[in-house]
Structure 1
Amino acid sequence: MSKPDKRYRVGISGSYGGLNLGDEAILTVITRELRRCLPVHITVFSRNAADTLQRHAVDQALTIRDLTRAEARSEIEQLDLLVLGGGGILYDSEAAVYLREVLLAHELGVPVMVYAISAGPLRAGSVRRIVKEALDQAALLTVRDRQGARLLEDIGVREPIQVTADPALLLEPEPLPDDTLVRESLDLSHRIVGFSVREPGPAAPEIDVDHYHHLLANAADFMVDRLDADIVFVPMERQHMDIQHSHAVVAKMQCAQRASVLKGEYTPGQLLQLVGQFQFAVGMRLHFLIFAALRGVPFVSLPYAAKVSGLLQALDMDMPPLGNVNSGRLLANIDHSWDLRADLATKIRARLPQLQARARKTNNLLVELLNRPSIGKH
């Protein structure tokens, strides 16, 4: 058991710094759950320290990519534990960047916990080797989906891998600003269908932009015609290309006057509250779909990556990968899912508690690790 006067020094390294509301939801939950269980001093290795300090109840934030190796080493050696994750951070072009601090921790004898990550794509042999080297020395290794576990096993990771779930499944709604509905021109007397896009990039290199823009524009027009619904696009990465891609899809719609793109800046909890006003959702981004599930909103997904397929598998919701979907197939799926929306919502409610229990398990494993007698004596 931990001593009452022991304040553990925990570092958390991930894709934090206001780039993506899904990642910020993850950090919100990790820090909340950890503080609920133990007295901790939390340092976040962020991509934007000022943003992280503003958003989160943490003691210190460092813009890790600005630090030299020696500077990073001096910060890590003060820790009792380094947490890598959560989120989808181990993929070809970024894995080595995120693993620098992990390898430094191994050199210093600081225990490392890998916290509910996803992995892939990992095609480069050099990246596979560094991932295997780093993770095989971890004190504890958890992933948020079976696809990630299988990939890490395939590249040769021998450390036992536990499958838990995304921390954002434990996110709680927060009140919206009073003027939200007016500012966003949302009329709650109308049906509202939320849409989510994502940009192509290193974590999703096979996305065909023209293909998915066409799919989503047709789907949005269909929802307007079929349901007399208003369409709201939800940018999860405002500082990247979500807003631009949302507007590009709207521009392809026949009923563009019935569509809008969210303009306001929201916390993850506020956005979760707002998603609860939707009657249905169609989306690509993982955390948009998680938010819909948390609010009991039935949805149809366009799975662009294994992490999205993993969520659908856990919820027992079938949908082929994005590259295998044409407009006819998507519209038929949306039409069918709308007709069965009550059954979909019931299925989500039935399966969500098990997923949330798995998400809580990750924090429980972290607490157990910190309570080991060897922690803090490195």
Structure 2
Amino acid sequence: MPDRTGLTIGVLGSYGGRNLGDEAILTGLLADLRQHEPNARIIVFSRNPAHTALAHPDVEAVPWEGVSRVDSSQVLNQLDLLILGGGGILYDKEARRYLRVVRVAQERGLPLLTYAVGVGPLTDGMDTGMVRETLAQAVEVTVRDQESRMVLEEAGLVNPITVTADPAFLLEPEEFPAQWLREEGVPAGARLVGLSVREPGRAAERLDVDGYHRLLAQIGDFLVHRIDAYVLFVPMERDDIRHSHGVLSHMIAADRGRILHGDYRPAQILGLMRHFDLAVGMRLHFLIFAAMMNTPFLPLPYAGKVFDLAQRLGVPALRGVEREVEGPLLAEVDRLWDERAARADETARRVAEVCDQARGTSQVTRSVLDSIRARALTPAA
């Protein structure tokens, strides 16, 4: 039987939704917890417990959506600590769903730690109030970027807020053999550009679907002709496949485009970045993966979290996707290709700094776990 002498820790986030970015966050977070608490019993609150249990067989996975307070309490009563995050989960209409579970935990005196959580946009009065009141009771609040700290401060949170970095920066790459690219239809010896698109959705409501599909198709065609490349679309979640097809349908050089169809782990997609000569994308974790592997990349921002990443790493970021203005974007893509070697060292230096910041979350977590263990060993008065 497994050794259960460690703490019991719950992890609540946007897990089980088959989003590679969220799964990268969970992979990094779990590795961090295992480093500090090897014998911990870890319970992940998941949208799809079967998927989470399959991807992470060393944890327990339980549902949280549509679960009553009574049933939630049965799980929460077993915990020594609840971790909220990481990832962007505290925003309008969504924050209240996660915090409903957190409030049940806090009613039972369970300590709360936010783990490099992403916050915003946060304008709805109910969500803002719940975030302020719930996080005010947290033992530690860590966020993944400056924008999240500003949103919390504007919401009225007066707790100390530690800015760290996305847990995906803790991920180690796995091999992505060249043969897998051949099986995906990418010919050997070709220059390869990675492209990431996303659905509009609640996180990117201002995107006009047909307009940005056409704009990204122009970028794809430009790269095909500019550097004689193949374009490989990398879906970070299921709906990205549909939008990748939408972009590809507008490309003149559609025969030079491929869509990644295999079922890959986040660390394998991180390894895939080694094969790209250039990466252009919208999805945050696609860009994080490119940065970590020192692949030249250009963000196509749709939200503040992507701008924050670009600023931290010192790379240009234009709002051309929302405004559907191709001229500045194509010029920046062209400049990125010409200056890729000159930018490499500075970007690598900044990525190393952000990786250190991501490890800062680990230091906070260790302190919280040490405190909980110390209390558990202290005899009652």
Q: What's the TM-score once normalised by structure 2's chain length? A: 0.94
Q: Is the 8 A contact 2:119 2:151 kept in 1?
A: yes
How far apart are 1:126 and its partner, in Å?
Answer: 1.3
Residue 331 of structure 1 aligns with which residue? 330
- Rounded to whole Å, the distance in 1 between the matches of 2:197 and 2:263 is 17
How far apart are 1:233 and its partner, in Å?
Answer: 0.3
For residues 63-102 of structure 1, give each alpha carbon's deviation from its aligned partner in whole angstroms, at most 9, with x where no partner exists: 1114211110111121110000000111112111111121
Residue 348 of structure 1 aligns with which residue? 347
- Rounded to whole Å, the distance in 1 between the matches of 2:228 and 2:220 is 11
How far apart are 1:56 and its partner, in Å?
Answer: 1.2
Q: Is the 8 A contact 1:81 1:375 kept in 2?
A: no
RMSD value over aligned CA atoms? Answer: 1.8
How far apart are 1:182 and its partner, in Å?
Answer: 2.6
Residue 308 of structure 1 aligns with which residue? 306
Percentage of identical aligned residues: 46
Task: Say which SS state the counterpart of residue 195 (structure 1) adopts.
Answer: strand
Between 1 and 2, higher relative CO (CA 8 Å, sep ≥ 6) is seen in 1
Residue 8 of structure 1 aligns with which residue? 7
53-62 vs 280-289, which moves further: 53-62
* AA matched with 2:375: S
Match of 1:245 among 243, 246, 256: 243
For residues 253-305 of structure 1, give each alpha carbon's deviation from its aligned partner in whole angstroms, at most 9, with x where no partner exists: 11111001101000001111112100001100000000101111001111111
* AA matched with 1:304: Y
For residues 132-179 of structure 1, give each alpha carbon's deviation from its aligned partner in whole angstroms, at most 9, with x where no partner exists: 111111111011000110011001111111100001011111133785
Note closer, same or farther for the CA distance 1:86–1:375 as it changes in structure 2 (3 Å cut).
farther
How far apart are 1:251 and its partner, in Å?
Answer: 0.4
74-83 vs 168-177, which moves further: 168-177
Task: Say which SS state the counterpart of residue 105 (structure 2) adopts.
Answer: helix
Q: Is the 8 A contact 1:120 1:203 kept in 2?
A: no
Q: Is the 8 A contact 2:116 2:143 kept in 1?
A: yes
For residues 1-34 of structure 1, give each alpha carbon's deviation from its aligned partner in whole angstroms, at most 9, with x where no partner exists: xxx9840110000010142001001111111121
- Rounded to whole Å, the distance in 2 between the matches of 1:178 and 1:259 is 17
How far apart are 1:249 and its partner, in Å?
Answer: 0.2
Q: Is the 8 A contact 1:215 1:330 kept in 2?
A: no
- Rounded to whole Å, the distance in 2 between the matches of 1:118 and 1:227 is 36
Note closer, same or farther for the CA distance 1:333–1:81 as it changes in structure 2 (3 Å cut).
same
Residue 209 of structure 1 aligns with which residue? 209
Task: Say which SS state the counterpart of residue 203 (structure 1) adopts.
Answer: helix
333-342 vs 95-104, which moves further: 95-104
Residue 264 of structure 1 aligns with which residue? 262
* AA matched with 2:293: R
For residues 184-214 of structure 1, give each alpha carbon's deviation from its aligned partner in whole angstroms, at most 9, with x where no partner exists: 0122411000000010111222222223212
* AA matched with 2:311: Q
Residue 230 of structure 1 aligns with which residue? 230
How far apart are 1:331 and its partner, in Å?
Answer: 0.2
Residue 118 of structure 2 aligns with which residue? 118
Residue 105 of structure 1 aligns with which residue? 105
Task: Say which SS state the counterpart of residue 116 (structure 1) adopts.
Answer: strand
Which consecutive unaligned segments of at least 5 residues does structure 2 have?
A: none
- Rounded to whole Å, the distance in 2 between the matches of 1:25 and 1:285 is 13
